[in-house]
Structure 1
Amino acid sequence: MTSMWVGERVRLRAIEPDEGEVFLAFEEDTDAARNGWRIAPPRSAERARQWAAELAAKESDLDEVKLVIATRDGDVPVGMINTHQVHRHHGTFAYGISIGTSHHRKGYAGDAIVVLLRYMFHERAFQKAEAWVYASNDPSLALHRRLGFVEEGRRRRGRFAAGRYEDEFLFGMTTEEFTERYGRAL
């Protein structure tokens, strides 16, 4: 049996109710939290448990997903990936991804993105994916270029973090570009 949710290195899956503290630990790295989106005030272990339990109990949406990135071998949670700004009429969506610092540079992010895009393009019939990347996040900029995303724009001074304004880059990939590079669905 083959699952479309399994890549070369990762498996995308729902969060389990007892995994809150795993993701709470990822939030301790300020630079990683800032690169992912923003720094939030500390939350308690109890609130993290509640968050995971609420997310685990929530009914899944077909287009707006929030998934755990787990290692293919061992099922260890290494991060999360989600879709947002889903526009069914236009066939476009954006996504965000966050990998725990101790799991960086192992190919998990790129593999998770390919698995998610294969689902969104080949199962949900979307025609374009978008990702915003902060100018200070050099690894993510390099990752998106390496995956074949096209740099479509730059929002100057679109974000404030670490006491300064910085630019955001918009990357896009169409279903045709994806299919040419990664092939059809399983």
Structure 2
Amino acid sequence: MNFWKGEKITLRAIEPEDYDLFFEALQDATIQKYESDIRIPMSQNASKDFALNQSLKGNDNDSPFLIIVDNDNNKVGMATPSITDRRVGVFTCGMFIKPEYQHKGYAYEALSIILRYYFDQMRFCKFNASVYEYNTSSNKLCEKIGLAVEGRRRKTVFVDGKFYDEILYGLTDDEFHQQIQYAK
């Protein structure tokens, strides 16, 4: 059994040839504005160097780049779980799904696998997420997964000429395991 495989997707380590996913994402303002902000485009060479450097980090990386592939082996997106406090056991995760693959359950399944790994294998106790208020898909994902709204940071992002709030979510290991029990 592959721990990193779900029904619809598999999470795998980044490889140098995955540079095309970074290059494509950094050309697409739609993807960028949901991740953090609109950035200056990255060259293909810089994207290649980035993917190569990330692929060489191996398993000891506190912020790995995981490629999300569907059952047809299409690269549908990327997830970047990050340890924010190893001593306490807190982690977060950034993710994007390419627009043509959105609303198919891939993000839900990828995040579920990541939560299961950090809670059940790494003994972490808390997952935190922050989502911009205009990112309705990610806000719905957080609610569907069972994250609780813990707060709001006002006017923390500036996109398309306007300031937006950042919504803060959290999920404890106890809440995660309670949800699993109810799902059975």
Aligned to 1:11: 10
Kindly state the Cα deviation for residue 7 of structure 1 after the two structures are TM-superposed: 1.5
CA drift at 1:61: 2.2
- Measured after TM superposition, the shift of residue 4 of structure 1 is 1.2
SS at match of 1:118: helix
Q: 2:67 touches 2:79 (CA, 8 Å); kept in 1? A: yes
Alignment of 1:143-154 (within 5 A): 143-154=141-152
What residue in structure 1 maps to residue 90 of structure 2?
A: 92
Helix, strand or coil at the partner of 1:53: helix
Instruction: Report the alpha carbon displacement of residue 44 of structure 1 after superposing the two structures with TM.
Output: 1.5
**Does structure 2 conserve the Cα–Cα contact (< 8 Å) formed by 1:65 and 1:82?**
yes
Give the Cα separation in 2 of the matches to 1:54 and 1:139. 31
Output aligned runs, 1:1-186, within 5 Å. Answer: 2-61=1-60, 63-71=62-70, 73-182=71-180
CA contact (8 A) 2:131 2:166 kept: yes
Q: CA deviation at 1:56?
A: 1.2
- Identity percentage of aligned residues: 33
**Farther off after superposition, 135-144 or 47-56:** 47-56
Q: Distance in 1 between matches of 2:7 and 2:151?
A: 31
SS of the equivalent of 2:73 reads coil
Q: Which amino acid aligns with 1:30?
A: A
Residue by residue over 1:141-186, the C-alpha shift from the partner in whole angstroms, topping out at 9 and shown as x without a partner, is 1111111111111111122222211100011111111112235xxx
**Which structure 1 segments of 5+ residues have no match?**
none
Aligned with 1:28: secondary structure? coil
**Matching residue's letter, 1:50:** D
- Does the residue aligned with 1:120 lie in a helix, a strand or coil? helix
RMSD, aligned α-carbons:
1.5
**1:64–1:86 Cα contact (<8 Å) kept:** no
SS at match of 2:32: helix
Query: Deviation per CA, 1:81-140, whole angstroms, max 9, x where unpaired?
Result: 112352122111121111111111111101000000100000000001011000010111
TM-score of the two chains, using structure 2 as the length reference: 0.92
Offset, 1:62: 5.9
